[in-house]
Amino acid sequence: MFVSFFLLWLIICFFIIQFKSRRPKNFPPGPITLPLLGNLHNLSLDNPLQDFERLRLKYGNIYSLYLGSKPMVMLCGVQAIKEALVNKAVEFAGRPQDMYVNITTESKGVILADYGPRWKEHRRFALMTLRNFGLGKQSMEERILAELQHTSADLESSIGKCDNPQVMFHNASSNIICQVLFGMRFDYNDWTMKEIVRCFTENAKLANGPWAMVMLHTVPFSCCLSCKFFDHIISADQRKYIMGLLYNDPDSTFSEDLLSMYSLDLHFAGTDTTSNTLLTGFLYLMTNPDIQERCQAEIDRVLEGKDKACFEDRHNMPYVQAVIHEMQRIANTVPLSVFHNTTKDTEVMGYTIPKGTMVIPNLSSVLSEEGQWKFPRGFHPENFLNDQGEFVKPEAFMPFSAGPRMCLGEGLARMELFLITVTLLRKFKFIWPEDAGEPDYTPVYGVTLTPKPYFMKVQLREMH
Ligand code: HEM
Ligand SMILES: *[C@@H]1O[C@H](CO)[C@@H](O)[C@H](O)[C@H]1NC(C)=O
Ligand SMILES: *[C@@H]1O[C@H](CO)[C@@H](O)[C@H](O)[C@H]1NC(C)=O
Ligand SMILES: *[C@@H]1O[C@H](CO)[C@@H](O)[C@H](O)[C@H]1NC(C)=O
Ligand SMILES: *[C@@H]1O[C@H](CO)[C@@H](O)[C@H](O)[C@H]1NC(C)=O
Ligand SMILES: *[C@@H]1O[C@H](CO)[C@@H](O)[C@H](O)[C@H]1NC(C)=O
């Protein structure tokens, strides 16, 4: 009796689940789904990325998959991604909510917040903070240059030696964000700084491996999870300063608790991304000495007689600009963007996507799309130069994604990449160590892509 009830129950469950994971009408195509598993059986354990590429070749630039009973739609290529994220902006501006661990019960900061008034307010506030610091007594530019003096000093002390630059780039980008958020930098030996760096390297490890690319968004931010962590860092004055900005707004949904969450958000979003882009960039600069020298010639010419670079100088440095954009293209730092969720029933490329479907924009597919680039493969700054040698930005350059959810740190990130690259290349020559063997460009998969650890040899350039 009991057994047959149990079997009946099992069969009912089976049908419910199968029914649930069947594709709705006119849903993007994809492989046949199995009950319970969905399409998990179509993905290999050690490298699902190859399977994704295979699926794209079979079904085209928009296809669907079921992870268990959960549908997700993959968007590849500039056409599909633009149509969704830009033309149907609001429809695609949500974030999946059940995927994420609830970090605090109330708020998800900016990045993971669903589309709505709360997200809008937080985004507006974050943009305002970033802009205000640009206008403040000491501009963002000066802060970055000041931080670079510490980086330069570090490099000078390692001249002739071979060092892994990972921590150096991480320290620098982390400190730049701290300056923006808390109006202060931390000494590299400071306890807090050590804690931040340790924490983020740990999270990076946690989130590595090809599967992490897919599951990445469920990975809790381990030790950084605790809001208390940031409570330690923000002093009473800094808190008052930031809260002061908020008190002007009577409808604010901010509370002090949210502040830590929000800081964590920006720190998380702005540190790994920038430093991994630089790590990949400098790897390619070392292994392409001709490109490095051509940058240095342009930098020397434009900065002649000046003691430091400024962001405006980029307009006179088309080649350096092209190299930095090519670094971002090849670094492919956030390959699957952050997952989106449809806020309404909608349509893309002729397919129907119901409200509440998870949507994954595959940014790597755009950054290396055939037909969009002169050289889709390899490191070629010519991708961003026209026949006259002027800097041009193709439509498919979207490492920051597109639409209303687009990276809000783009301005800061671009300023950092430019000032750091120019300042370091002006002073130092970066050399691939003779005994390091062939460079391996295969990235390590994670929330953000990062190159395999490598060593870098530094020499002082003769000042021009
Ligand atoms: C090279 C550096 C960076 C890259 C490649 C990058 C890339 C991205 C991408 C792909 C997204 C997801 C957009 C989407 O959902 O479609 C994003 C979101 C975001 N980024 Fe960045 N980012 C970088 C630097 C920064 C910096 C420096 C900050 C902070 C100051 C920052 C703050 C954010 C925030 C807050 C979001 C969430 C926006 C929202 O959900 O409304 N990012 N970024
Ligand atoms: C997915 O798995 C099913 C069942 O094993 C198989 O029939 C189908 O060919 C697979 N599809 C792809 C694209 O791998
Ligand atoms: C996606 O967005 C819809 C509409 O905003 C919301 O109701 C739903 O809960 C979200 N879906 C998930 C999986 O979070
Ligand atoms: C996450 O937080 C939201 C908003 O407070 C709540 O409605 C939801 O039930 C929580 N989900 C989980 C899994 O704890
Ligand atoms: C980076 O910061 C750590 C921790 O504060 C410090 O120990 C280390 O010397 C710094 N390294 C570099 C290269 O800046
Ligand atoms: C994204 O696109 C690239 C290039 O087409 C492909 O190699 C990769 O497997 C895709 N990733 C996913 C998760 O679809």
Q: Please give the distance, rounded to the nearest whole angstrom, from the Cα atom of residue 431 to the centre of ligand 2.
A: 47
Say if CB 358 and CB 74 are below 8 A apart.
no
The pLDDT of residue 444 is: 84
pLDDT greater than 50 at residue 219: no
Ligand nearest to the CA of 157: 5
Cβ atoms within 10 Å, residue 84: 26
Q: How confident is the model at residue 252 (pLDDT cuts 50, 70, 90)?
A: low
Does the C-beta of 365 come closer than 6 Å to ligand 6? Answer: yes
Report the pLDDT value the prediction gives residue 223, as an integer from 0 to 100: 33
Q: Helix (H, G, I), strand (E, B), or coil: what is residue 216?
A: helix
Residue with CA at minimum distance from ligand 2 atom 11? 31
335-351: average pLDDT? 93
Helix/strand/coil for 444: strand
Report the candidate in 76, 83, 94 with the shortest Cα–Cα distance to residue 335: 76
Across the chain, how many H-helices and E-strands are there?
15, 11
pLDDT tens profile 437-463: 999 999 887 768 889 999 999 999 976
Q: Is 144 exposed, middle or buried (0-12, 13-18, 19+ CB in 10 A)?
A: buried
- Higher-confidence residue: 224 or 133? 133
The CA 463 to ligand 1 mean position distance, Å, reads 36
Look at residue 220 and tell me whether its pLDDT is greater than 50.
no
Alpha helix ranges (H) inside 315-399: 318-331, 363-367
Residue 348 clears pLDDT 70, i.e. is over it: yes
pLDDT at site 375: 97
**3-state DSSP assignment of residue 371:** coil
How far is the C-alpha of 116 from the C-alpha of 450, rounded, in Å?
33
Give per-residue burial for 69-81: e unless 16+ CB within 10 Å, then b: bebbbbbbbbbbb
Does 254 have pLDDT greater than 80? no
| The ligand 1 atom nearest the CA atom of 333 | 5
CA of 246 to the centre of ligand 3 (A): 28
The model's pLDDT over 101-148, given as tens digits with 9 standing for 90+, comes to 444 434 456 677 788 887 888 788 778 777 766 545 567 888 899 999
pLDDT at 65 over 50: yes
Domains located in the chain, CATH noted:
91-332+368-460 (1.10.630.10)
Please report the sign of the dihedral spanned by the C-alpha atoms of residue 157, residue 163, residue 167, residue 169: positive
- Residue 253 has which token pair? 């949904």
**DSSP letter string, 223-271:** GGG-HHHHHHHS-HHHHHHHHHHHHT-TT----HHHHHHHHHHHHHHHH
Q: Are 65 and 39 in contact (CB under 8 A)?
A: yes
Question: Can you tell me the mean pLDDT for 142-158?
Answer: 92
Question: Which of 52-56, 368-372, 442-446, 452-456 is least confident?
Answer: 442-446
Atom number in ligand 5 closest to CA 197: 4
CA distance 250 to 43: 50
Q: Is 102 in the pocket of ligand 4 (CB under 6 A)?
A: yes
pLDDT digits (tens, 9 = 90+) for 296-330: 999 999 999 999 999 999 999 999 999 999 999 99
> 238 pLDDT exceeds 60?
no
Give the distance (Å) from ligand 5 centre to CA of residue 399: 28
Ligand 5 contact, 194 CB (< 6 A): yes
pLDDT of the residue at 53? 87
Ligand 2 proximity of 58 Cβ (cutoff 6 Å): yes
Which of 29-33, 81-85, 423-427 has the least mean pLDDT? 29-33
Higher confidence at residue 418 or residue 141? 418
Tell me if 253 sits within 8 A of 116, measured CB to CB.
Answer: no
Instruction: Identify the helix (H) or strand (E) that includes residue 273.
Output: helix 256-287
Residue with tokens 């009991």: 2
Question: What sections of 86-209 are H helices per DSSP?
Answer: 117-135, 140-157, 166-182, 191-206
Q: Ligand 5: distance of its center to the CA of 187 in Å?
A: 9
Nearest atom in ligand 1 to 109's CA: 35
- Between 225 and 278, name the one with better pLDDT: 278
Closest ligand (CA of 48): 6
Does the annotation flag 227 for ligand binding?
Answer: no
Question: Would the pLDDT of 239 be above 60?
Answer: no
Mutation probe of ligand 1 site: the residue of 74, 342, 362, 400 with most atoms within 8 A of C-beta: 400
Give the chain's mean pLDDT. Answer: 81
